[in-house]
Structures are given as C-alpha cells and as structure tokens.
Chains A and B, each alone.
Chain A
Amino acid sequence: MPSDLVHLYMRIDHLPQIWCPGCGNGVIMRDVAVAIDELIHDEENSINREDIVIVSGIGCSSRAAGYLDFNSIHTTHGRAIAFASGIKMANPKLHVIVLTGDGDCSAIGGNHLIHAARRNLGLTVVCFNNDIYGMTGGQYSPTTPNGDKATTAPYGNVDRPFDIAVLAAGAGASFSARGDVYHARETIDIIKRAIRHKGFSLVDVYSICPTYYGRKNRKGDAVEMLRWQKENLLPTARYYSMSEEERAGKKQIGILSYNDYPEYTEEYAKIIAACRGKAKKQGGDGT
C-alpha cells in the first residue's frame, strides 16, 4: 500500500517507476506532486485539480507525465513547451506545467524555451537537470560541465555548459529559479511559487544521475551525489550570508529573478477584445 500522496496523484498501475536506483527524478516528481497538493488544499487561494495540465517531452524526466495522475500529455522530443503553448493559448485559465529534462528543454527544445520565455507565456517549466542524456546511454548534454566525461566525450567535454535558469531569465522569463534533489522542501516551495506566478516561470532542478553521469565522472553513488548537493547548493539566505571566498564553487538555489512583465495570453486577449469592439462599431457582430 503506497502513501496517500502516491494514491492521490500518481497512476499506481504504472508504479514502481523504472528510473534507476538513486535517480533524482523520482524525488523531483514527488516535489511537483506535493507542490500541487499544497496548492489544491490552500485555504485562502486554492487551485482546481481539473485545471492542471502536465506536459512532457522525451527523456528520462519526461516519463513523469505518465506517472502523474492529472490531465497529461507525453509529447515529442523537445516539443513539450510548444504543445504546452498551444494548450495555454487555447485555454488560458489552465495551469500548464511542463516537465522536461536538460536535453529536451535546452538542446532539442532550446528555441521553444527561449521564445516562450521571451513572450512571457504563463507556463511553468520544471527542468529535471541531470547534466546528461540518461535514457540514450550517457551522451553529454548542454548542461554537462566543461571537462566532465560522457559517452560522447570520453576525454572530457569541450563545451561550456548552459545555466538554464540564467538562460531563461536572459530570454525574458519573468520568474526564474533553481532547485535541487537534496533540498526537497525548499524546491517544493519554489515550485509552488512558480505555479502561482502569472507569467513564464522556470525552475531548473538539479537532479542526479548516478548510473551514467555519476559513474563516468567518479562522483560516487546517489548518496555521495546528494552530499555534494547538500554542501554546494545553498538556499538563498545562506548563500548571501557567506563571503565571496566561501561561495567559490557553490551555487544558489532559490528564486533568481522575478518581475511582473505582462503575461502573453492576457495581452492577446486585449487585442481580441479591442478588435471585437472595433468590429461591433462597424456594424459586425464582432466575431
């Protein structure tokens, strides 16, 4: 008998999930389920379960849309944000949550990411960022750190990596944040804020891939990889309480940038309303 949370929000007949032992994706998927559960049960401003849509692309991360028991769609590689954009434009009241991976989101779907961010379309993107293409056997991805090894980089990765949260903010996203597997409670709160946010919100969640990335780079097992996260990824308050020397090599988790740029579907609705008004004045029925 699994827990109430799993019963309520996951498709039990698809579980246990098939991710590798110690894979961070299961924790991030749970974070998303807890965040949604807490928003549904928020006494002051609850959201409807029926208004939630989960969209995923292709990759280890994207299996989450099959496991989570909501209105969900598992789409083609890199196109999760494109499908999600269509869903949001057709029905702006929906909370469209994209679950994607570092490759799906920033390589194959890189253009969809930056343009949805630029338009500030009200989607929530949760990127399961494990620094590698796990499902296809450990090829380097746009977030594999420089010098690290992968199946396709046996002597070390020549590329410099993307910082997806910074990339989204630079492209115009009005909410950009970073989470990780170790700091699960903090990450749940960040995902809640992201879902509540009206414009485009992105949460780059650092996952762990002990099977490919960890093994290739001698990072140890899942426990050691989480210990690294505990010591090197720091919640905002702690990060800023440290001196610059202490911060060297460490990264902040939390909300990195936030603003109230106009949201795309609202701006679009204004154009429709204005055109209808004009048509009515000219004697048409406004359709």
Chain B
Amino acid sequence: MIGREKLVIETGWCKGCGICAAFCPGQVLEILNEKVVVKKPEKCVFCGQCELRCPDYAIYLVNVEE
C-alpha cells in the first residue's frame, strides 16, 4: 500500500548490474560508483519491480505499517 512501505538497499550485496534502475517505471534509482542509490524517492510507487528482478536481493520493500 502506498505510503506504508519503505525501499531498503543492502549496499554490500549490490553488484551494480543496473537491472533495478533500468526497469524502474519511475526512474527512481541510479547506479553511482557501481552501487544502487535512490535518486528520486518521491517518485517511488512501491511497485516492487526492483525487488522482483534484483539478482542479488540487494533491494527490497518492507512494510512499515506498525
């Protein structure tokens, strides 16, 4: 649900392949020095496409409802 989720990056696991950034519908992500960073957090709609295709499990959504 929008507003109740958070995007988390496990920087140590990121290999900088760029898949998440390329297929993010809102161009939220960017690869900087071979690691993913959140460039435009306000554009994130928490669709989870990045988590779905990250081969390294380095980016994911968590529920912060409570």
Contact = CB atoms under 8 A, between A and B. Distances in A.
Nearest to A26: B55
A36 B3 CA distance: 28
A17 B53 CA distance: 15
B51 to A, nearest CB: 7
Given A22-B17, A226-B23, 11 more contacts: A2-B57, A3-B60, A21-B15, A22-B55, A23-B55, A24-B55, A26-B55, A27-B54, A221-B18, A223-B18, A227-B22
A168 B47 CA distance: 35
B13 A25 contact: no
A30 B57 contact: yes
Interface size class of A (residues with CB under 8 A): 20 to 34
Given A3-B62, A16-B12, A226-B23, A25 B55 contact: yes
A182 interface: yes
B52 interface: yes
A25 B23 CA distance: 18
Contacts of B51: 3
Contacts of A5: 57, 60
A1 interface: yes
A252 B62 CA distance: 33
Contact of B17 (A15, A21, A30, A184): A21
B16 interface: yes
A22 B19 CA distance: 7
Interface of B: 8, 10, 12-13, 15-19, 22-23, 51-58, 60, 62
A171 interface: no
Which among B19, B22, B23, B54 has the highest number of chain A CB atoms within 10 Å? B19
B43 to A, nearest CB: 19
A266 B16 CA distance: 48
A19 interface: yes
A181 interface: yes
A78 to B, nearest CB: 25
Contact of A223 (B15, B19, B60): B19
A226 B21 CA distance: 13
B56 A17 contact: yes
Contacts of A3: 8, 51, 57, 60, 62
A222 interface: yes
The 10 nearest A-B residue pairs measured at CB: A26-B55, A22-B17, A21-B15, A3-B60, A223-B22, A16-B13, A21-B17, A184-B52, A222-B17, A6-B57
11 contacts: A2-B57, A3-B60, A16-B12, A26-B54, A30-B52, A30-B57, A181-B53, A221-B17, A222-B18, A222-B55, A223-B18
A230 to B, nearest CB: 8
A226 B22 contact: yes
Contacts of A6: 57
